[in-house]
Amino acid sequence: MSGVLMVHKFEDEDKLRDNHVFSDHPRPTPTDSDKMRFLYQTLMVLLTSLLLDPAVAADCRPGATRPDRYDCHAYHKCEGGELVRLHCPTGQAYSVYTGTCEPEWRSPGCHQGVPEVFN
């Protein structure tokens, strides 16, 4: 019987239709409120993913420091579960090797204020 299309009418098709198991009516469409809720949730996920650097936020131990992505004279320190941006004293740059501010000449990765690790 391969290749033969068989059409079968359920004996209880009317009963199924009456119980809304099988219906000719289209599915209900989302309301404007549902659409706005979906849009809001999508935008929140997008904004959160853009604003948080997962590699940094995932490892925020109290006292831990991280280099600033764009300025080697600055760094981030974890305080109270949040990263706080701090600046090294004049003439110093954050060292990725020591995790502290060092004289600029001892921070070979700092070229024109941009950390080498992010170039």
Higher-confidence residue of 106 and 116: namely: 106
CATH number of the domain enclosing 83: 2.170.140
pTM of the model: 0.45
The pLDDT tens digits of the residues spanning 74-110 come to: 999 999 889 999 999 999 999 888 889 999 888 766 7
The pLDDT tens digits of the residues spanning 18-65 come to: 555 555 666 677 788 777 776 666 666 555 555 555 444 556 888 899
Contacts for 66-70 with beta carbons within 8 Å, 24 or more apart? 67/94, 67/96, 67/115, 67/117, 67/118, 68/94, 68/115, 69/115, 69/118, 70/114, 70/118
Q: Is residue 12 part of a domain?
A: no
Beta bridge partners of 77: 65, 84
pLDDT value of residue 7: 56
State the total domains in the chain: 1
Range of the structural domain that residue 104 is part of = 55-118
Q: Is residue 63 part of a domain?
A: yes
Q: Is residue 73 part of a domain?
A: yes
